[in-house]
């Protein structure tokens, strides 16, 4: 049997065979339930993309707004509040934040206006029938958990990038024309301040992926991250390798995308 599976071969040979297979688009078969690895991963991808997409949109909206808000009046109360929040967000262990949200909103629940309600803390839906409201409720806690770190990072970055832009000559010109600060920042500053932010957003994809593994595991979210974690307990190495392969490809793709976007947004950047 060892011979039939090629397990009697030395490790380098097995690795080369695996590489050859990968080049043909074949990631092998899971050793725990003999599922095709590619199919298994693609089956779980939509759930992960839903989670990451929502978290991405939320982080972008909240993170960038927080950054702008903090930059409008640097060293004001608002700025301190946002910066402090960002420090907490960057220092928070994702899994513990998840546990605390579960404790507050799912286990204990919230009592307000005479009603007592609790958010679902596990899974993607309560029943197999499609119900948009139910889906949305299940999304709240995982998305909040996954977004915290990126909101914190992106808001700090947007703030410092905006403060750099505010110092430039064209911003002073706009101010000299008598425009109010809000308008200058949103109309003239934002576009330029966001250029470096694009890079940091693309580069934070690995941490989003890592966060998704933890989040999906804790919230029993049926995505790639949970598939990966379950495979870990089974020592299902074809599946683990396949997952790492796919995720790394995604990271490389995003890096290229960031480089291209950077050159497109800022015509001064030229690549040879």
Partner 1 sequence: MATTLVPGAIVAPVAEEEFHIERHGVWKRFRRHRLALLGGLVIVAIALVAVFAKLLPLQDPNFIDQVNWTGYPLAPGVAGHLLGTDENGRDLLARLIYGAQISLTVAVAAVFMELAIGTVVGAISGYYGGWIDYTLMRITDVFLSIPLLPLLLVLTAIVAASSNKAALSFGVIVVIIGGTSWPVVARLVRASFLSLREKEFCEAARALGNRDGRIIFRHLLPNAIAPLIVQGTLEIANVIILESTLSFLGFGIQPPTASWGNMLANAESNMAIAPWVAIFPGLCILVTVLAINYLGDGLRDALDPNMR
Which residue ranges make up the site for partner 1 (CB under 8 A)? 87-88, 90-96, 99-100, 102-103, 107-108, 160, 206-207, 209-210, 213-214, 217-218, 228-229, 232-233, 235, 237, 240-241, 243-244, 247-248, 251-252, 255
Residue 107 CB, nearest approach to partner 1 (Å): 5
Residue 245 CB, nearest approach to partner 1 (Å): 9
What CA–CA distance (Å, rounded) separates 12 from 25?
20
Residue 187 CB, nearest approach to partner 1 (Å): 26
What CA–CA distance (Å, rounded) separates 269 from 272?
10
What CA–CA distance (Å, rounded) separates 67 from 161?
9
Nearer to partner 1, 5 or 88 (CB): 88
Nearer to partner 1, 57 or 252 (CB): 252
Chain-centroid distance, C-alpha 221: 15
Distances (CA, A) of 169 to 72, 73, 91, 159, 268: 17, 19, 36, 18, 17
Residue 176 CB, nearest approach to partner 1 (Å): 27
Closest CA to 34 of 244, 231, 233, 247: 231
Nearer to partner 1, 108 or 168 (CB): 108
- Residue ranges in the chain assigned as alpha helix (H): 11-23, 37-72, 77-91, 94-101, 132-166, 169-176, 181-183, 190-203, 205-218, 224-233, 237-265
Residue 233 CB, nearest approach to partner 1 (Å): 8
Residue 209 CB, nearest approach to partner 1 (Å): 4
Nearer to partner 1, 76 or 90 (CB): 90
What CA–CA distance (Å, rounded) separates 161 from 54?
25
Nearer to partner 1, 103 or 269 (CB): 103
What CA–CA distance (Å, rounded) separates 204 from 251?
9
Nearer to partner 1, 185 or 224 (CB): 224
- 9, 183 Cβ separation under 8 angstroms: no
Beta-strand pair 110-112/115-117: antiparallel
Residue 24 CB, nearest approach to partner 1 (Å): 22
Nearer to partner 1, 93 or 123 (CB): 93
What CA–CA distance (Å, rounded) separates 211 from 203?
14
């Amino acid at each position: 049997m060892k011979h039939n599976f090629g397990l009697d071969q030395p490790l380098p040979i097995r690795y080369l065979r695996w590489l050859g297979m990968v080049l043909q688009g074949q990631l092998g078969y899971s050793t725990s339930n003999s599922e095709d690895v590619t199919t298994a991963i693609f089956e779980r991808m939509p759930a992960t993309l839903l989670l990451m997409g929502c978290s991405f949109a939320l982080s972008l909206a909240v993170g960038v707004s927080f950054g702008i808000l903090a930059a409008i009046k640097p060293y004001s109360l608002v700025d301190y509040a946002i910066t402090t929040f960002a420090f907490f967000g960057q220092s928070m262990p994702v899994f513990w934040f998840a546990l605390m949200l579960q404790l507050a909103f799912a286990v204990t629940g919230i009592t307000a206006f005479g009603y007592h309600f609790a958010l679902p803390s596990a899974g993607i839906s309560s029943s197999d029938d499609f119900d948009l409201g139910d889906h949305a409720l299940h999304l709240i806690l995982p998305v909040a958990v996954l977004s915290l770190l990126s909101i914190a990072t992106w808001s700090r970055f947007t703030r410092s990038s905006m403060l750099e832009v505010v110092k430039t000559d064209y911003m002073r010109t706009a101010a000299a024309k008598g425009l109010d600060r809000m308008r200058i920042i949103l109309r003239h500053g934002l576009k330029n301040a966001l250029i470096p932010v694009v890079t940091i957003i693309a580069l934070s994809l690995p941490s989003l992926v890592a966060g998704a593994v933890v989040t999906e595991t804790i919230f029993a979210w049926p995505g790639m991250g949970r598939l990966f974690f379950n495979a870990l307990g089974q020592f299902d190495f074809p599946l683990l390798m396949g997952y790492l392969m796919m995720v790394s490809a995604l990271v490389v793709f995003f890096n290229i995308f960031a480089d291209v976007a950077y050159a497109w947004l800022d015509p001064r950047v030229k690549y040879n």
